Amino acid sequence: MNGIIPLIVALFAVGVVLYLSYLFSRYLAVGAAKISKSKYIKIIDRVVLGQDRLLLIAMIGDKHYLIGSSAQSIQILTEIEGTDMFEHSKR
């Protein structure tokens, strides 16, 4: 009986630490979402082409752009007209 009480206290302490870690991680996630939220630029879609290569569709203001991204550079490939983008998604 003498060894059970410290075991129960230790298990309770581990549970409290796990719960506080969970709350802190949620707090950090909400803070990161607020920081990364942009008022004028939104990423509409992204496609991973390789380990460090992406194609992105970004909406800046009311225009859409196709952007290529790699470890070395980021380039605007073309401006997408609004009707062009939605014709492919209806197929």
Alpha carbon 61 to its chain centroid, in Å, reads 21
pLDDT tens string 25-69 = 988 887 766 666 777 888 888 999 989 999 999 888 888 999 999
- Whether 64 and 76 have beta carbons less than 8 Å apart is answered as no
pLDDT at 83: 57
- Residue 50 phi/psi, 5° resolution? -170, -170
pLDDT at 36: 65
Would you say residue 85 has pLDDT above 70? no
Distance CA 27, CA 5 (A): 33
Mean pLDDT, the chain, rounded, equals: 84
* Burial (CB count <10 Å: 0-12, 13-18, 19+), residue 12: exposed
